[in-house]
Structure 1
């Protein structure tokens, strides 16, 4: 009797456990072989401002000065004062100073025209260049599982194998007619 109870208990447990599994789906991880992994690129273009400097030769004139005009006026005034005597002496001094000032100014101006000299100046400007960079945004992966090839996108480069989720569901039951 005891043996019969154990046999019935074992048989009923086996039947109940099979019926309990029949309604559940089977999930699991399996390895699939990677057959191809192609990087997917994104191109970015951005501006880069760069200061560019160079040396440039320019002609510099002497700075104008009042010294030649004043010196000419003084010399002209002295000459006018020495040449004329009497009542016209004051007028001659003023006229000599005016004429001497004009002559001194013209002499200085002519010397400046001839007196230009080369000077090296550094000039700078900002130039904009465009740089282009490519970076990988993901991988287009082809993998083989049980004789069939599948495709997926992955954020990182895969190895020789990837893990795939496998889900087995029971097919709907249609009794034979």
Structure 2
């Protein structure tokens, strides 16, 4: 009985050891790349300075002529700016006849590396429910 139990345990452990995930890497053809932008709006304050000359006329007898007064005018303004920066790329690629989509932070070029995972269906079981009639 102990030998049967021990051999059963070894069988379970050996099949789970063989049921590892296997990974391979391959290249897929890129068929479309679309940049993704981040739109940012910001305001800049700036001041306009200019001098105005004001001419004052005097009509009284004590002052003949004109007086020119220079005033400093300052206007506060805001300018709204827009900034567009690329944050990544939406990439469509074709691998073995199927088209897949992904997002990358860098432009992939003509080909993109793909990782293939192979996983066995060892511990996946189907449950079959049978219905019995009670007479």
By relative contact order (CA 8 Å, sep 6+), the higher-ranking structure is 1
The equivalent residue for 1:171 is: 121
Which has a greater percent of helix? Answer: 1
- Stretches of structure 1 that go unaligned for 5 or more consecutive residues are 1-18, 63-108
Residue number among 21, 35, 43 corresponding to 2:31 in the alignment? 35
Cα deviation digits, residues 95-114 of structure 1 (max 9, x gap): xxxxxxxxxxxxxx824676
After TM superposition, the score normalised by the length of structure 2 is 0.68
Report how many aligned residue pairs link the two structures. 112
Distance change >3 Å, CA 41–CA 128, structure 1 → 2: same
SS at match of 1:110: coil
Q: Which stretches of structure 1, 4 residues or longer, exceed 3 Å deviation after superposition?
A: 19-22, 111-116, 118-122, 171-174
Farther-moved stretch of structure 1 (116-125 vs 32-41): 116-125
CA contact (8 A) 1:60 1:117 kept: yes
- What's the RMSD between the two structures over aligned residues? 3.0
Flag the 1:111–1:44 CA change in 2: closer, same or farther, 3 A. Answer: farther
Structure number with greater Rg is 1
Q: Write the mapping of 1:45-84 to structure 2, written as runs, cut at 5 A.
A: 45-60=41-56
